[in-house]
């Protein structure tokens, strides 16, 4: 049992921004040593609420357009299989980051809140953020195929800048979490170069620029799927944190 729990905790590869109160626990971590009794207790408690049922939102659904499906298949075909090593690995995505962290286990009961991962909280497929993230084998790059839904409108017919920022934070944050979870965004700089038509599928690509101790510098660009149009450029700084940072309230 202890071995299994440790394996689960080691597999924590995701982190997300969620409001935090005394009754809420967000943000798992990857190779976090169990520094405190509280950390150990949390892992044991979380593990006790396993459920086999969970939905991975990064799999195709009926709302995905042709371009979204084409690119999903393009990268998915280059993912690791049982018989071959691939260049990419698809990241599963659940409606709480802890689900992803624990490999899809539903943990909301213990968290005792209705909090949901911001990008996965709309029930209607295709209405908001439809996306799938792939990470390269050497973990230096991530690519996200993102289809924007009608609820993300900012300027008429185009995607809201905050929604674009959310996707950039999500992709770079997922990337940073793979490299060094748990992390938090310390800084995010965004340059909007050309508007994204609502409903379009675009690519959000991140690249690790450098690591300096606890700091991860990641750059990101959003382009049209053929790469001909640059929509957005960003740089982000993530800091790895001790999980206790999230438990202070």
Q: Which residue numbers are catalytic? A: 169
Is the CB of 67 or the CB of 205 nearer to ligand CO8?
Answer: 205
Chain residue whose CB lies nearest ligand CO8: 173
DSSP H stretches of helix in 17-124: 37-47, 66-76, 97-101, 108-111
Nearest in space to 242 (alpha carbons), one of 34, 24, 65, 9:
34
Show contacts with ligand CO8 in window 51-110 (CB under 6 A): 97
Total residues in contact with ligand CO8, by rule CB under 6 A: 17
Residue by residue, DSSP assigns 178-204 as HHHSSEEEEEEEEEE-SPPBTT-EEEE
Task: Work out whether 39 is an interface residue with ligand CO8 (CB under 6 A).
Answer: no
DSSP one-letter code for 84: S
CA distance 19 to 166: 15
Task: Work out whether 13 is an interface residue with ligand CO8 (CB under 6 A).
Answer: no
Show contacts with ligand CO8 in window 141-170 (CB under 6 A): 169-170
Are residues 141 and 75 in contact, defined by beta-carbon separation less than 8 angstroms?
Answer: no
Binding mask 168-207 for ligand CO8 (x = CB under 6 A): -xx--xx---------xxxx--------------------
User: Which residues lie near ligand CO8 (CB under 6 A)?
Assistant: 14-17, 97, 169-170, 173-174, 184-187, 215, 237, 239, 241
């Amino acid at each position: 049992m202890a071995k299994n729990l440790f394996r689960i905790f080691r597999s924590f590869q995701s982190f997300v921004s969620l409001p935090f109160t005394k009754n809420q626990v967000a943000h798992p971590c990857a190779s976090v040593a169990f520094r405190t009794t509280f950390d150990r207790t949390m892992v044991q408690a979380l593990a006790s609420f396993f459920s086999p049922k969970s939905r991975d939102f990064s799999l195709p659904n009926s709302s995905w357009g042709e371009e979204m499906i084409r690119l999903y298949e393009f990268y998915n075909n280059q993912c690791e299989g049982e018989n071959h090593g691939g260049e990419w690995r698809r990241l599963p995505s659940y409606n709480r980051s802890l689900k992803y962290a624990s490999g899809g286990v539903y943990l909301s009961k213990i968290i005792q809140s209705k909090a949901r991962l911001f990008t996965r909280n709309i029930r209607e497929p295709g209405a908001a953020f439809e996306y799938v993230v792939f990470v390269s084998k050497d973990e230096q790059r991530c690519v996200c195929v993102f289809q924007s839904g009608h609820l993300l409108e900012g300027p008429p017919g185009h995607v809201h800048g905050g929604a674009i920022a959310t996707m950039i934070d999500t992709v770079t944050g997922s990337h940073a979490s793979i490299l060094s979870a748990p992390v938090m965004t310390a800084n995010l700089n965004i340059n909007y170069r050309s508007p994204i038509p609502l409903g379009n599928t675009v690519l959000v690509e991140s690249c690790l620029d450098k690591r300096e101790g606890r700091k991860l510098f990641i750059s990101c660009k959003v382009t049209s799927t053929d790469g001909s149009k640059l929509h957005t450029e960003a740089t982000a700084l993530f800091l790895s944190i001790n999980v206790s940072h999230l438990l202070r309230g």
